[in-house]
Structure formats: structure tokens, C-alpha cells
Amino acid sequence: MGGEVVRYAYRLRPGARAERALLDVWHRCRFLWNEAVHQHKLGQKPTFGKLSKLLTAARGSNTWLRKGSQVAQQQTLRTYSQALDHSFTVRGRGRPQPKSRKKALPSLEYTTRGFSIRDRRLVLSKGVSVPVVWSQELPSTPTSVRVYRDSLGHWYASFVVRREARTAPVVDGGIGVDWGVTTTATSYQRARRQAAKLHKKTARQTKHDSRVWAKKVVDNHQLIAVEDFRPRFLARSTMARKAADAAIGAAKRELIDRAGRAGRKVVIFQPAYTTMTCSSCFARAKQQLERDERIFRCQTCGHTDSRDRNAARVVLAVAERGHTSVDGISHFRPPPRSVDGAA
């Protein structure tokens, strides 16, 4: 079957009874996750096969576990096994850690055996029925669902579905993206530029804005040069740093995912000297600009421009000329779990 696998997320409106049931399922799954962490600390590498056998034995002798959803419990152990394998393949990534009762946010995975949609409600195993806010129709029958709660206490359901692949328009030209401070992203193109001030929005609005912005960029450019930038050194306060991290992270992920699915060429590279280089003559300044300096002035040719716009032009020029050591991403299809939503 053709098409692409994506996630469609919807808001849930569980009542007090349904929310208690969801939390009960979560506490059992969290217990199993922590038990798997404990097994690993004892010197064993708990594969999913071993964990599945342990779960079967534990449910047979533990009434409390048996009252919970077996599907959700199995999926928790499968997720743990995948996270453990990933920690061994990715350098510098630590192994899975225990989930705290007070700090960890509930997240439950269900396959088709553990959920159904009846009368436009999400019905989970063990009879948990939750109303869904259907903001749009699902393009096909979902193959799995992730039920989770965010830090604000809102519940969501993220369905994995298959839909027809959307063909991106044939375009030419490129765009360079520089992640700024005053504006989250400054984009430059020869015809026009587009700036998105995402960090002033709420987290939900940020996600929506990121999708809209990324879609416009991907639809209009074949080459997309993205600065792999981490903003933690630019924002001094904790609140500002978290807001900048969230906005830039959401925009960058959405842009790369959409560009990959559309077959665009994505170039990602470290932002060394982009703010010190003139986009007109490419001379490099001897000193870095101060954080409060928003205007770039070239001492060699006299070119003057916005700091972020000048850097975005440099990003695009470097990618077009191929003078970088970068990760070139041509057409690729990300794993189903990495594609979130459909705007």
C-alpha cells in the first residue's frame, strides 16, 4: 500500500472517571518501565523478548498488574527496548532513566488490539472511553495511538495513519535560515524574505506557526540551508531560554521533516562565523558582534544590513557554493514516530 505514514493529533476531553482510569494505566506502565531500568542496572540487557516473558509471569502472579491493559504494558516495554537500543547506537546518549511519579508525564501506547473508535469516542482496552475533539477527519483507519498528557494537564491522542503522499510543486532556487534572537527565524530569498516571530506565541500556537511557515518554505524552495544553531547562550533568563529553545526546535524539526518528505535538498551546518561574514563581499569581521548589535556593517565594502538577514544570506550562499562540511539530506522518509501531525 502506497502513501506516507504520519501522525494526527487531537485534543481529548476525559472526565474525572476516565482520567483516573488513564492514570491507573500509566502508573502500572511506569512501574514496568522502572523495573526494566532496574534489570539493566543489575547487569542484564533486557531485550523486548525477555521483558515480554517477564511481563507474562508478572501478570500471572500480580493481581494489580493484571487489572491494567496488557497492550499498553507491552508497548511500554517495547518502547523501553527501542530506547535502550538507540542509546547503544547513538554516541553520547545515555540509557533510559527511571520515570518519576511526580515529574514524568503520562504517555500510553496502544496498538489496534487495544483501542477502537466508537461513536466518535476513543475507546481503550479495559473500557476506558474518552471524547475526542475531532478538528479534522482521519484520512484512514489508524494503526496505533499514543495517549499523553502535557505539562498543562491537557490530554491528547496521536493516531498513526497512512495517507496519500502529497506531491510538492516543482520549484527552483534556495533559502537560507538563520535562527535569530529578536525574530526566531530570519529567512532570505532572492524574490522576498519571510520572518516568523514564533517565540512570542504560546506553545500550541508555536507548533501551528511552525507548520505553516515550514510548508511555505518547502513549497517554494528546492534547496533549504538550515543553521544548526542552539540558542541557550543568547537568552540570559531561564524563561527566555526555554521559550527560544521550544520555538526554534519546533520550527527546525518541522522544516526538516517536511523538506525530507517533499524531496527537497536540505543542508545543515554549524553556524561558525555566519554573523561575522559579509553577505555582499564575504569578508569576515575581525571581532564578533555584541549581542545587542542588530545591524551588520562591513568595514571592507561598506555593506549594511540587518544582522539576522545578513547571516541568512551567508547561510544560503555557502550552501549554494558547496563550501561547507555538512550533512546533505536528499529525499528521505522519516520513521512513522518522527512525523507529527498534518497541517
Q: What is the pLDDT of residues 62-117, one digit of tens each?
A: 999 999 999 999 999 999 988 888 776 655 567 889 999 989 999 999 999 999 99
Measured CA angle at 97 (ends 92, 100), to 5 deg: 145
> Do 216 and 297 belong together in one domain?
yes
Q: Which of 144, 163, 182 is the endpoint of a domain?
A: 163
Q: Is 260 helix (H, G, I), strand (E, B) or coil?
A: helix
The C-alpha atoms of residue 270 and residue 185 are separated, in whole angstroms, by 16
Contact 227, 271 (CB under 8 A): yes
- Rounded to two decimals, the pTM is 0.60
> Do 265 and 185 belong together in one domain?
yes
pLDDT at position 335 over 90 = no
Cα distances (Å, whole numbers) of residue 258 to 40, 102, 338, 340, 343? 37, 35, 11, 10, 11
Q: Which of 163, 186, 211 is the endpoint of a domain?
A: 163
Please report whether residue 283 resides in a domain: yes
- Which of 125-139, 212-226, 297-311 shows the highest mean pLDDT? 125-139
Mean pLDDT lowest among 10-14, 125-129, 186-190: 186-190
> Do 180 and 90 belong together in one domain?
no
> Do 182 and 325 belong together in one domain?
yes
> Do 132 and 248 belong together in one domain?
no
> Do 212 and 64 belong together in one domain?
no
Please state the rounded mean pLDDT for residues 292-318: 81
Give pLDDT, residue 114.
Answer: 95
Please report whether residue 338 resides in a domain: no
Please report whether residue 15 resides in a domain: yes
- Which of 57-61, 218-222, 296-300 shows the highest mean pLDDT? 57-61
pLDDT at position 336 over 50 = no
Please state the rounded mean pLDDT for residues 166-189: 61
Per the structure, the complete domain to which residue 313 belongs is given by 174-333
Give pLDDT, residue 259.
Answer: 83
Please report whether residue 103 resides in a domain: yes
Mean pLDDT lowest among 16-30, 274-288, 327-341: 327-341
Please report whether residue 169 resides in a domain: no
Start-to-end CA distance of the chain, whole Å, equals 23
pLDDT at position 334 over 50 = no
> Do 114 and 211 belong together in one domain?
no
Please state the rounded mean pLDDT for residues 253-276: 77
- Nearest to 144, CA basis, from 166, 129, 126, 122: 122
The C-alpha atoms of residue 18 and residue 20 are separated, in whole angstroms, by 5
Please state the rounded mean pLDDT for residues 207-222: 81
pLDDT per residue as tens digits for the range 31-53: 999 988 888 888 777 778 888 88
Structure-block grid coordinates of residue 277: 561574514
> Do 226 and 133 belong together in one domain?
no
β-strands 185-188, 128-133 pairing: unpaired
> Do 119 and 180 belong together in one domain?
no
The DSSP code for 75 is H
pLDDT at position 309 over 70 = yes
> Do 158 and 275 belong together in one domain?
no
pLDDT at position 185 over 80 = no
Please report whether residue 96 resides in a domain: yes
Please state the rounded mean pLDDT for residues 218-241: 63
> Do 178 and 97 belong together in one domain?
no
Please report whether residue 341 resides in a domain: no
> Do 17 and 146 belong together in one domain?
yes
Q: Which of 107, 142, 163 is the endpoint of a domain?
A: 163
Average pLDDT of the chain is 77
How many domains does the chain contain in total?
Answer: 2
Please report whether residue 151 resides in a domain: yes
Structure-block grid coordinates of residue 36: 526494566
CATH number of the domain residue 297 falls in:
3.30.420
Structure-block grid coordinates of residue 60: 500471572
The C-alpha atoms of residue 169 and residue 180 are separated, in whole angstroms, by 29
Give the strand order in the sheet containing 327-329: 193-196, 185-188, 174-179, 223-227, 265-269, 327-329
pLDDT at position 276 over 90 = no
